[in-house]
Amino acid sequence: MHLVFVADYSATDFSKKASRALDAAVQGAVRVKRRDEVFVLLRERQLEEIVQDASDPRPKTLEDMITGYDAAEIKSRMSGWLADEPTGKEVL
């Protein structure tokens, strides 16, 4: 995904209150509300990391790995395998 910027501003384009928001954005994401709109201000590198993480389909946590896990289904799928006699060629 390639992000397209619709505007480009320098920090001096903002008021002193806005510069406090930029200072806070160094630490993490900042929520900015204006009328009925909500914006998020964050460092460009943070956005790149978010996009990179979102595009990686591998599980990130143990919880991600077990989402949708159904123990009964796994047991029924493995029942034949568990009942098979060993052939002597099994490798652990």
CA–CA distance, 72 with 15 (Å, rounded to integer): 60
pLDDT reported for residue 1 = 56
pLDDT reported for residue 29 = 85
pLDDT reported for residue 50 = 85
pTM attached to this predicted model: 0.49
Please tell me whether residue 50 adopts helix, strand or coil conformation.
Answer: helix
pLDDT reported for residue 92 = 67
Cβ-contact 41, 18 below 8 angstroms? no
Please tell me whether residue 27 adopts helix, strand or coil conformation.
Answer: coil
Backbone Cα Rg of the chain: 25
Tens of pLDDT, residue by residue over 49-67, are 888 888 888 877 888 777 7
| Residues of the chain with confidence (pLDDT) below 50 | none
